[in-house]
């Protein structure tokens, strides 16, 4: 398991044929959206140029900060949590899942462990506050 060291110039989201949004990253936009739409059947393909080449986690943080039109925030949050989980598994802050037969006293983890000072925790809290604010003002 490793963390992707690449940087990207464009980031965004797309919806697959099942209606599931996913975060997408690219360095060139000359053919990528067209190929995604024609070959794979993706719709709502939105790419936003980043101010400078960024890693996936930095690009997600930038998109959640700027909230460009057409980008699905839920897909970005899900990808940020996934990346943070992978980082936690590598550096040992998240315990590995037990495999095989269950023990008499199984270790139960009901939700992913997110470090309190991580960028993912900041992103998720900001999105929750924004969502709560919108629901409070709309009532």
| Euclidean distance between CA atoms 58 and 125, whole angstroms | 16
Tens of pLDDT, residues 16-38: 888 899 999 999 888 888 888 87
Is the pLDDT confidence value at 2 over 50? yes
| Euclidean distance between CA atoms 17 and 21, whole angstroms | 10
pLDDT score for 9: 93
- Give the sheet arrangement for strand 8-15, strand by strand: 21-26, 8-15, 43-54
Is the pLDDT confidence value at 4 over 80? no
| Euclidean distance between CA atoms 83 and 25, whole angstroms | 14
Residue tagged 């990253």 (tokens):
25
- Cβ contact 55:4 at 8 Å: yes
């Amino acid at each position: 398991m490793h963390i992707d060291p690449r940087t990207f110039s464009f980031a965004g989201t797309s919806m697959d044929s099942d209606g599931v949004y996913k975060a997408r990253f690219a360095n060139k936009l000359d053919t990528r959206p067209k190929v995604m739409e024609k070959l794979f059947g993706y719709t709502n393909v939105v790419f936003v140029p980043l101010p400078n080449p960024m890693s996936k986690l930095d690009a997600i943080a930038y998109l959640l900060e700027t909230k460009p039109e057409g980008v699905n925030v839920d897909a970005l949050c899900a990808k940020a949590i996934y990346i943070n989980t992978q980082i936690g598994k590598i550096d040992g802050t998240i315990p590995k899942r037990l495999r095989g037969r269950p023990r008499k006293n199984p270790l139960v983890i009901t939700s992913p462990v997110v470090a309190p000072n991580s960028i993912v925790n900041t992103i998720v809290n900001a999105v929750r506050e924004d969502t709560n604010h919108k629901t409070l003002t709309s009532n």
